[in-house]
Amino acid sequence: MRMLHTMLRVGDLDKSIDFYINVLGMKLLRRSDYPDGKFTLAFVGYGDESDTTVLELTHNWDTGSYDLGSGYGHIAIEVEDAYAACDAVKQKGGTVTREAGPMKHGKTVIAFVTDPDGYKIEFIQKKEQYNAAD
C-alpha cells in the first residue's frame, strides 16, 4: 500500500492553484472538469503521482467556501530552511501564521502558513544529517 493523495475542498480553485504553484512551488499535475457533477478536480504536488503523494483540490461549483471544522490539523512539508521559506511566502503575498522557530518542548524548527481557504500548512526544517562520529 501507499498513500496517493489528500483531498481539500476549495472555494476558489484558480486562487488555490495559484497559491500551491506560485507560493509553495508545486506543479499542476492535472485538472479535470466534471460538468454533470458540477465540480472540478485539480491535482498538485512536488513530483509525479506515480511515486509521490499529492494534493487533490476539489472545487464544487456551487460552493464558495467551507467551514474547516475542528478535526482538520495540517499538511506538513519538509523545507531546507524554514526561515527562508517563510520569507518567500510573505514576499509572494502568502500568510505566515507562526514564524519559523523551534517547536515547544523540542528542537525541530517549524513554521505555519495558511492557504487561501485557511488550511494550515506546516513547514518542518530538514534536520542536519550527523555522521556516527558526531
Annotated catalytic residue: which of 49, 56, 122, 128?
Answer: 122
In the chain, what are the helix, strand and coil shares in percent, each to the nearest 5?
A: 15, 40, 45
Q: How far is CA 24 from CA 39, 61, 101, 116, 129, in A?
A: 24, 25, 19, 12, 24
Strands 5-9 and 54-60: parallel
Per the CB < 8 A criterion, the answer to whether 125 and 110 are in contact is yes
User: Is 122 among the residues known to form the active site?
Assistant: yes
Question: How many C-alpha atoms does 99 have within 13 Å on its Cβ side?
Answer: 1
Per the CB < 8 A criterion, the answer to whether 100 and 82 are in contact is yes
Active site residues: 122
